Amino acid sequence: MGDDGRMHAMEDDESAAADQIRAIDIYPLSNYYFGSKEPLIFKDKTLADRVIRMKSNYAAYGLRTSVEAVLLVELFKHPHVLLLQIRNSIFNLPGGRLRPNESDIDGLKRKLSRKLSANGAPDASDWEVGDCLGTWWRPDFETLLYPHLSNNVKGAKECTKLFLVKLPENRKFIVPKNLKLIAVPLCQLHENHKMYGPVISGIPQLLSKFSFNIIET
Amino acid sequence: MGDDGRMHAMEDDESAAADQIRAIDIYPLSNYYFGSKEPLIFKDKTLADRVIRMKSNYAAYGLRTSVEAVLLVELFKHPHVLLLQIRNSIFNLPGGRLRPNESDIDGLKRKLSRKLSANGAPDASDWEVGDCLGTWWRPDFETLLYPHLSNNVKGAKECTKLFLVKLPENRKFIVPKNLKLIAVPLCQLHENHKMYGPVISGIPQLLSKFSFNIIET
């Protein structure tokens, strides 16, 4: 897994970075403009539809990878994560499934543009994709996601990767009318599995190695 | 793990893989030798003693930082985390509090030597400290730990940093007689707050951005 050259290079990076805590610049929510566009059509009406589609896709393409973005803004001097809410209930990170052979970064930019940018805007796909924060695995079609693979599982069916996406100082978010973009503070996400599920409620932990520079403008 | 799922994930990513998914080499538990040494004397007999000592230390030195190590071994083809068990109940990561002005890395090496090495052995403090995986904060003396600081908290009282510490292919662990060193699989830690607390039960998430090279020897 990975050639020798690359492995050595990584070890060098690691020792250099070992004692540093990286700071992320975050900007006030009020720096961003929020508008809306035509609704997004969802492929799956029910969970059963989703399982059927997941199975046929797995048969055709094997493991499916989803990529999701952690976008941060400041509100009340506290970091907030941007979530998309569907039908007043389900919360999702912006993102989605990769096409076959699509790279993580290209796919995430495409999905972010589709869900958060005006169609055809010049900066639609201009997103700064940073670190991979974590990976979650779905060992079988109808199971929950886990942050590890068990050794008794032959092959995972789905993999979800979370990336930190750095926002510029200003940006327009243009969101499909049937989705709501909301900002939720880290302290509300932490351990709140019931409302946000295991992936989103774990974000405060995944971000805990960073410090935040809250930029007042 | 040598698992289909993870292998595909690596291949699909070629363009982005270099800086996105890092592999950690882990070696079988049987590569390591485990011995014991004289018991460690604990400073606090009860939780109340601990709070009293924390308060007087805070008054004298301000925010106190603890550093803890995530050490990984392979068992049954699954990554396991090494934990120290005290009095058949509490589980801890190996580590402890820094001295005033001590660096994270120096302090962690000192603590690992004290808890896991033979006293005075030539390689006692030879530990390869890698990435900071996460940080936990104690906003007040008697509260739980959180992976974020709330904006209504003036100053945290304690901070705990988790570091990945890479084990060599072979090593002797010499553990105080009143502690037990045990290897617990990631799948048992995940979401098991009740037994391991929030910090240890979150380790599988913090490690989920890495892949594991299980080295058969």
- Closest approach of chain B CAs to the CA of A93, in angstroms? 17
* Confidence band, pLDDT 50/70/90 cuts, at residue B201: very high
* Confidence band, pLDDT 50/70/90 cuts, at residue B4: very low
Residue A13 lies in a domain: no
Chain A: residue nearest B186 by CA?
A148
Q: Is the pLDDT of residue B152 over 80?
A: no
- Who wins on pLDDT, A41 or A127? A127
CATH number at residue A203: 3.90.79.10
Residue A115 lies in a domain: yes
Minimum-distance CB partner of A205 among B1, B129, B147? B147
Record the tokens describing residue A166, joined without a space. Answer: 């750095």
Task: Give me the mean pLDDT over the A202-210 stretch.
Answer: 95
Lowest-confidence region among B1-5, B20-24, B82-86: B1-5
Task: Give me the mean pLDDT over the A186-212 stretch.
Answer: 93
Across the interface, whether the CB atoms of A153 and B22 are under 8 A apart is answered: no
- Closest approach of chain B CAs to the CA of A177, in angstroms? 32
Tokens 């508008």 correspond to A35
- Closest approach of chain A CAs to the CA of B115, in angstroms? 22
- Closest approach of chain A CAs to the CA of B90, in angstroms? 21
Q: What was the pLDDT predicted at B150?
A: 66
Q: Is the pLDDT of residue A15 over 60?
A: no
Distances (CA, A) of A211 to A156, B56, B136: 33, 27, 12
Strands B171-176 vs B32-37: parallel, antiparallel or unpaired = parallel
Q: What was the pLDDT predicted at B61?
A: 87
3-class SS of residue B136: strand
Q: Is the pLDDT of residue A18 over 90?
A: no
Distances (CA, A) of A13 to A41, B13, B135: 43, 20, 21
Q: Exposed, middle or buried, A120 (CB in 10 Å: 0-12/13-18/19+)?
A: exposed
The pTM of the full predicted model, rounded to 2 decimals, is 0.85
Q: Chain A residues with CB inside 8 Å of B5's CB?
A: 63, 137, 149, 153, 155-156, 159
pLDDT digits (tens, 9 = 90+) for B165-190: 999 999 999 999 999 999 999 999 99
Q: Is the pLDDT of residue B203 over 60?
A: yes
Q: What was the pLDDT predicted at B163?
A: 97
Q: Which amino acid is at A156?
A: A
Q: Chain A residues with CB inside 8 Å of B3's CB?
A: 149, 151, 153-156
| Pick among A149, A158, A207 to test the B interface (most B CBs inside 10 A) | A149
Chain B: residue nearest A77 by CA?
B151
C-alpha A186/C-alpha B136 separation (Å) is 13
Q: How many domains does chain B have?
A: 1
Segments of chain B assigned E as strands: 22-26, 32-37, 64-70, 72-75, 78-86, 90-92, 95-97, 128-138, 158-166, 171-176, 179-185, 210-214
Chain A: residue nearest B204 by CA?
A147
The 3-state secondary structure of A145-212, one letter per residue: CECCCCCCCCCCCEEEEEEEEECCCCEEEEEECCEEEEEEEHHHHCCCHHHHHHHHHCHHHHHCCCEE
Task: Give me the mean pLDDT over the B67-75 stretch.
Answer: 97
- Who wins on pLDDT, A47 or B20? A47
Across the interface, whether the CB atoms of A156 and B187 are under 8 A apart is answered: no
Q: Is the pLDDT of residue B20 over 90?
A: no
Q: Is the pLDDT of residue A13 over 50?
A: no
* Confidence band, pLDDT 50/70/90 cuts, at residue B50: confident
Please state the ipTM of this predicted complex.
0.82
Q: Which amino acid is at A29?
A: L
* Confidence band, pLDDT 50/70/90 cuts, at residue A216: confident
Q: What was the pLDDT predicted at A89?
A: 82
Domain hosting residue A37, numbered range: 23-214
Residue A203 lies in a domain: yes
Query: Partners of A202 in the beta sheet?
Result: none
Q: Is the pLDDT of residue B118 over 80?
A: yes
Across the interface, whether the CB atoms of A154 and B16 are under 8 A apart is answered: no
Q: What was the pLDDT predicted at B153?
A: 56
Q: Is the pLDDT of residue B154 over 70?
A: no
